Amino acid sequence: MTLLETLPNSDTAAATPASPSGNFLQEVMDATPGDSRLAMCIQCGTCGGSCPSAADMDHTPRQLFAMIRADLREQVLRSNTPWYCVSCYYCTVRCPQEVHITDVMYTLKSMAIREKRYADATAPDLSQTFISYIEEYGRSFEFGVAARHQLRHHPFQLPSMLPFGLTMLSKGRMDLIPQHIEGIEQLQAILVRAKELEAS
Ligand code: SF4
Ligand code: SF4
- My answer on whether 151 and 81 are in the same domain is no
Which ligand is in closest contact with the Cα of 46?
1
> Chunked in runs of 10, what are the mean pLDDT values of the chain (200 residues)?
42 47 90 95 95 88 97 93 87 96 95 82 78 89 83 80 81 84 93 85
Domain boundary among 80, 114, 148: 114
- My answer on whether 110 and 13 are in the same domain is yes
pLDDT at 1: 43
- My answer on whether 103 and 74 are in the same domain is yes
- My answer on whether 49 and 17 are in the same domain is yes
- Cα of 199 to ligand 1 centre, how many Å? 31
Residue 142 domain boundaries: 123-199
- My answer on whether 137 and 181 are in the same domain is yes
Q: Does residue 50 contact residue 94 with C-beta atoms inside 8 Å?
A: yes
- Helices 184-199 and 123-137: crossing angle, nearest 10°? 130
Q: Does residue 61 contact residue 48 with C-beta atoms inside 8 Å?
A: yes
Domain boundary among 53, 88, 114: 114
Q: What is the pTM of this model?
A: 0.67
- Quick one: three-class SS letters along 72-118? CHHHHHHCCHHHHCCCCCHHHHHCCCCCCHHHHHHHHHHHHHHCCCC
- Indicate whether residue 90 lines ligand 2 (CB < 6 A): yes
Going by alpha carbons, the residue nearest to atom 7 of ligand 2 is: 85
Phi and psi at residue 120, in whole multiples of 5°? -100, 115
- My answer on whether 22 and 110 are in the same domain is yes
Domain count, the chain: 2
Q: Does residue 7 contact residue 67 with C-beta atoms inside 8 Å?
A: yes
pLDDT at 3: 41
Encode pLDDT of 13-51 as tens digits.
344 445 666 799 999 999 999 999 999 999 999 999 998
Query: What atom in ligand 2 is closest to the CA of residue 54?
Result: 8
Mutation test residue for ligand 1: of 35, 38, 62, the one with most atoms within 8 Å of CB = 62
- Indicate whether residue 28 lines ligand 2 (CB < 6 A): no
71 vs 52: CA distance, rounded Å: 26
Vertex 107: Cα angle to 105 and 109 (nearest 5): 70
200 vs 190: CA distance, rounded Å: 15
Q: Which helix (H) or strand (E) holds 167?
A: helix 158-170
Sequence-distant (≥ 6) Cβ neighbours of residue 116 within 8 angstroms? none
- My answer on whether 97 and 134 are in the same domain is no
